[in-house]
Amino acid sequence: MLSLLIGQLGLLLCCLLSPTDATVVPGRAFDRFISIWLENQDFDKVVVDSAFADLKRFGILQTRYYAQTHPSQPNYLAAVGGDYWGLDHDEVVRIPSNVSTIVDLLERKDISWGGYFEGMPGPGYMAEASVGRPENQSPNGTWDYVRKHNPFVSYDSINFNGRRLLNLLSLDDFQSDFAAGVVPQFVMISPDMLNDGHNTTLDYATNWVREFLKPLLTDGAFAEKTLVQLTYDETEDYTKPNRIASLLMGNAVPKKLLGTTDDTFYTHFSILSTMENNWGLPNLGRFDVGANVFQFVADATGYPNTDPPNVANINNSISYPGPLNRNHPTKLMTFPPPNLKLTGAGGEPVLEAIAQTWKSEAKSDTPYDGSGRVYDGDDLPVYKGQGLFTALIRTHHITSRKKLQRVRKAASQHALPFVLIRSGGSPGIMYAEGAEADVNAWVSFVRGLRYKDFQCPRKPAANMVLVPSQAIQGSFEEVTSVTEFGHRMEQRGLASWWKSAMGYSSST
């Protein structure tokens, strides 16, 4: 009797003290993310494949998901680093240790992570490829595992760190971690060159992945809410805009969404913004900021997704310039500084460690502006100042619709990302933010319109603005009450800046 009691107590203790339960950091829409990557298929072909159709019943099909470029490697790098650095080839690359990744963001919140790569000979293996399984060895294929499908090892911030390298394991390790219930909270998986479809066919890979996923999608497979993404690195056809198929499955997907489609615009940068949004993570200050969040997650958190401003011209077929680029006529030698002023989908600023590392470049131009704009080899990233310029105008009142149309047109001609107007009663107030030259030009234009009692109590100057999400950016807004105007200023961290300029008490 006593021994039975002790036995039960032991069982109880063992479960209470289980290390896996203790370390799971809950997210807003899911507690674990597993992304599994297949190779080189076009959306139109994947969605009619029969094994894929089977899986579709268990998930949400993302119909407007675009890979970043060609060939494979830059797409993998983008999903963890928020940029692909202009890369346009698959050979060994290294990214300096002062460039951060998703790993830094996750570790900041003690969220476990791992990469599992089929055929990887040992933890943290860094060579270009493995020699593969004996049955595949010469004279036939020998490269099962390839470094180009493992984004982590190319970042020095990971490969200089033995503890981090130990998180890069083989697919056999995934199976044992799954069996033991210790799968990390953020996982990327690449099957080998046969199972991912690279050296085989579309249906070879989808059949393999269907079998692989079955146990993961079974009821009770995971105790925590788990989101499983099946995605492709890029399309096979290099002449089309690179739309791939991506499917969200797992017990984190609301039941009513199974078998549905989601037409929100995504790229692989959306993986980063979705993690930031789900766990309230800081951001990388790169293209992670402004990328749409997976819609069912955005619905749970209230994050406003929008199409990128250049959505009509997306063609992610050729890499934009960057330090890892070989072929673009525009040459760039250095890794761009992150934009330290951005607020990401987690509602948080750039990771403190990044701000610290890059503080000497806090005033340098950067291609990252949080707008969600998508760049390619024909539509190059534009380098702009990090400090937004802001200006405040007051007039007696703003009522003429005709004049207001001209104000709006000028804002769009000068590409101001955000303008706010208080129209109707007195006083009329206008706020604008953007690049220095643009804000200057717009203010002179408005002055020329001869509004009654025109004043510019805040002349165009660099300012610390909390740029919220891209949804609030990229717009020309008109409000009718001063209270509402004040609310928008507060959202941007400009409460006392505008109140004192208007002569309102700045103490409240």
- Ranked by CB distance to ligand NAG, the top (closest) residue is 141
* Interacting residues of 401 by C-beta distance below 8 A, sequence separation 6+: none
For residue 169, give the H/E element and its range. Answer: strand 168-169
The least CB distance from residue 185 to ligand NAG, in Å, is: 29
Under rule CB under 6 A, which residues in 320-379 are in contact with ligand NAG? 357-358, 360-361
Q: Is 96 in the site for ligand NAG (CB under 6 A)?
A: yes
Q: Which residue has the tokens 């002790």?
A: 6
The least CB distance from residue 253 to ligand NAG, in Å, is: 32
Beta bridge partners of 384: 366
Which x/- pattern over 232-261 shows residues binding ligand NAG (rule: CB under 6 A)? -------x-x--------------------
The least CB distance from residue 330 to ligand NAG, in Å, is: 15
Euclidean distance between CA atoms 220 and 16, whole angstroms: 19
Provide the CB-side half-sphere exposure for 99 (13 A, CA).
Answer: 22
Among 71, 141, 424, 468, binds ligand NAG (CB under 6 A): 141
Nearer to ligand NAG, 131 or 258 (CB): 131
Nearer to ligand NAG, 221 or 353 (CB): 353
Euclidean distance between CA atoms 213 and 382, whole angstroms: 41
Closest CA to 328 of 75, 69, 43, 94: 69
Q: Residues 292, 266: contact at Cβ < 8 Å?
A: yes
Nearer to ligand NAG, 88 or 288 (CB): 88
Among 20, 63, 199, 455, binds ligand NAG (CB under 6 A): 199
The number of residues that bind ligand NAG (CB under 6 A) is 22
The token duo for 463 is: 């300012």
Q: Which residue has the tokens 């060895």?
A: 137
Residue 109 CB: number of other CB atoms within 10 A?
A: 14
Euclidean distance between CA atoms 309 and 51, whole angstroms: 35
The least CB distance from residue 90 to ligand NAG, in Å, is: 10
SS3 187: strand
Q: Residues 235, 245: contact at Cβ < 8 Å?
A: no
The least CB distance from residue 214 to ligand NAG, in Å, is: 24
The least CB distance from residue 239 to ligand NAG, in Å, is: 4
Nearer to ligand NAG, 335 or 445 (CB): 335
Nearer to ligand NAG, 348 or 361 (CB): 361
Euclidean distance between CA atoms 394 and 458, whole angstroms: 9
What values do phi and psi take at 32, rounded to 5?
-150, 145
Nearer to ligand NAG, 21 or 378 (CB): 378
Residue 428 CB: number of other CB atoms within 10 A?
A: 21
Residue 112 CB: number of other CB atoms within 10 A?
A: 18
For residue 441, give the H/E element and its range. Answer: helix 436-448
Q: Given the rule CB under 6 A, which of 101-109, 299-307, 315-323, 394-402 is the region that contacts ligand NAG?
A: 315-323
Q: Is 229 in the site for ligand NAG (CB under 6 A)?
A: no
Provide the CB-side half-sphere exposure for 310 (13 A, CA).
Answer: 15
Among 80, 153, 158, 193, binds ligand NAG (CB under 6 A): 193
Under rule CB under 6 A, which residues in 120-139 are in contact with ligand NAG? 132, 135-136
Q: What is each CA distance from 453 to 395, 406, 427, 447, 500, in whole angstroms?
A: 5, 18, 10, 10, 18
Nearer to ligand NAG, 146 or 298 (CB): 146
Q: Is 310 in the site for ligand NAG (CB under 6 A)?
A: no
Which x/- pattern over 40-79 shows residues binding ligand NAG (rule: CB under 6 A)? ----------------------------------------
Nearer to ligand NAG, 96 or 259 (CB): 96
Among 63, 142, 426, 500, binds ligand NAG (CB under 6 A): 142
Q: Is 505 in the site for ligand NAG (CB under 6 A)?
A: no
Nearer to ligand NAG, 131 or 479 (CB): 131
Q: Round to the nearest angstrom and report the end-to-end CA distance of the chain.
A: 69
Nearer to ligand NAG, 63 or 98 (CB): 98
The least CB distance from residue 261 to ligand NAG, in Å, is: 23
What values do phi and psi take at 483, rounded to 5?
-60, -45
* H-assigned helices in 229-336: 269-279, 295-301
Among 170, 190, 278, 317, binds ligand NAG (CB under 6 A): 317
Euclidean distance between CA atoms 259 and 256, whole angstroms: 8
The least CB distance from residue 136 to ligand NAG, in Å, is: 5
Q: Is 194 in the site for ligand NAG (CB under 6 A)?
A: yes
Cis? peptide before 304, omega within 30° of 0: no
Q: Is 318 in the site for ligand NAG (CB under 6 A)?
A: yes
Among 3, 140, 483, 507, binds ligand NAG (CB under 6 A): 140
Q: Residues 390, 494: contact at Cβ < 8 Å?
A: yes
Nearer to ligand NAG, 290 or 377 (CB): 377
Please name the amino acid found at residue 4.
L
Instruction: Name the residues that contact ligand NAG, by CB under 6 A.
Output: 96, 98, 132, 135-136, 140-144, 193-194, 199, 239, 241, 315, 317-318, 357-358, 360-361
